[in-house]
Structure 1
Amino acid sequence: DCVYENDLKDCSDDMIDLVPQAVIPHPEYDSESSNQQHDIALIRIEQTPPFTDFLRSICLPEQNFESSATPGKKLSVSGWGRTDIFKDNLGPDVLSPIKLKLSLPYVEREKCSKTFRPWSFALGPGQMCAGGERAKDTCAGDSGSPLMSYDMKRAIWYITGIVSL
């Protein structure tokens, strides 16, 4: 796994195989329902992996993010989703061979709801929006990736949300 930034390539250590101890789906998840608002699970692993420059823990937010967020606050997302660049060269079902990252602005709930109203899409409880900039978005295959915010005062990353397409 490599990250490309400012024309520099920085690659992580080799893959680490971890044994899952338990898979804990959200208690309200229903695989038969068209409503996939709770399509998330936790995976408990047997041992703590060694932390590196590419593998770290992330903090849970101390409070409801939306109550303290200002519109436009920059959030980060990363993932291996399908992009046109790789689709054209490797085929339509190929995920990105490199992890890509993107900065997206937080979008307040009211503005997001208004944007999606023509498609009869409504935000559910616990859902939020980020994005809205032309040609900047998460990709198919990025579902489950973290939506993160950075607290500059504390130098801490927080998980703000989870990508769901």
Structure 2
Amino acid sequence: GSLINSRFVLTAAHCVKGAIEKKIGALTAVRLGEYDTTKETDCNGYSCAPSAIRVGIEEAIPHEQYRDNSANKENDIALIRLDRDIRFSDSIRPICLPSAVAQERSAPASGTQYTVAGWGRTLRSPKSAVKQKLQVPLVDLAQCQQKYRERKVNVVDNQLCAGGVYAEDSCEGDSGGPLMRFRNDAWVLEGIVSFGYKCGLSGWPAVHTRVANYDSWIRSKLRN
């Protein structure tokens, strides 16, 4: 998930309800400021970052219209309300929602580079101890819809697609994480990693929840 203010994390609904609940139970906490999960403190040659912090969860709020058994995972978005306000630091900062930065005059072109990050599966291991990040190209929605029709999956306007380059993709364990882009001098949370067909297959982009389309839903929950 991604921290969006001092109290809330934005993630995918399938990370907080459905099959995952049956498998591991309800989420109880989040870790903020993490980089290398095998180390208590993350250091480079010059300095060390503050230790990651564990924060309890007050409430998980999946989108009311998300259905865990739907093929296309529409409305795969959830908020996590933390049990206390977070103090920001050099290693813990919120990401901007699309509505917080100036609107673009035209939709970004296919091929525009986005960044995805997470601790998910890599070519070498089922999960990565160190946070990975990768640039992935935006894929035209119509092209993505055509591709996923081969799997009888209906990709919709509330989703956006990125990737499709061999061995460069989000994968299991990256779900709920950010698809982001640096624009207007800020990192903007454009998408939430939702699903894909296998991982890193050439021509098969990953599908993300389009955050901009859920702005009013997010704001209505932040008020509560």
* TM-score, normalising length: structure 2: 0.59
Q: How does 1:38-117 map to 2 (within 5 A)?
A: 38-62=75-99, 68-86=107-125, 94-117=126-149
Could you tell me how far apart the structure 1 residues matched to 2:55 and 2:188 are? Answer: 23
Gaps of 5+ in 1: 3-8, 87-93
Cα displacement (A) at 1:60: 1.0
Q: How does 1:86-165 map to 2 (within 5 A)?
A: 86=125, 94-151=126-183, 154-165=184-195
Counterpart secondary structure, 1:82: coil
The one-letter code sitting in structure 1 at the alignment partner of 2:180 is M
Structure 2 equivalent of residue 89 of structure 1: none
Cα displacement (A) at 1:76: 0.6
Percentage identity across paired residues of the two chains: 38
Structure 1 equivalent of residue 15 of structure 2: none
Distance change in 2, residues 1:68/1:160 (3 Å): same
Distance change in 2, residues 1:101/1:12 (3 Å): farther
Structure 1 equivalent of residue 10 of structure 2: none
- Give every structure 1 segment of 4 or more consecutive aligned residues whose post-TM-superposition deviation is greater than 3 Å: 9-12, 31-35
Could you tell me how far apart the structure 2 residues matched to 1:110 and 1:158 are? Answer: 23
The one-letter code sitting in structure 1 at the alignment partner of 2:192 is I
Could you tell me how far apart the structure 2 residues matched to 1:68 and 1:150 are? Answer: 15
Cα displacement (A) at 1:64: 8.1
For 2:54, which of 17, 22, 26 is the aligned residue? 17
Could you tell me how far apart the structure 2 residues matched to 1:133 and 1:61 are? Answer: 26
Cα displacement (A) at 1:72: 1.1
Cα displacement (A) at 1:55: 1.8
Q: What do you get for the CA RMSD once the two structures are aligned?
A: 2.3
Distance change in 2, residues 1:35/1:112 (3 Å): closer
Deviations 1:73-105 (A, max 9, x none): 11011001111212xxxxxxx421111101111
CA contact (8 A) 2:115 2:134 kept: yes
Structure 2 equivalent of residue 91 of structure 1: none
The one-letter code sitting in structure 1 at the alignment partner of 2:128 is S
Counterpart secondary structure, 1:113: helix
The one-letter code sitting in structure 2 at the alignment partner of 1:158 is V
Aligned length: 149
Could you tell me how far apart the structure 1 residues matched to 2:167 and 2:69 are? Answer: 33
Could you tell me how far apart the structure 2 residues matched to 1:70 and 1:148 are? Answer: 15
Deviations 1:105-163 (A, max 9, x none): 11111121222232222202411100122221111111101111110xx3111110100
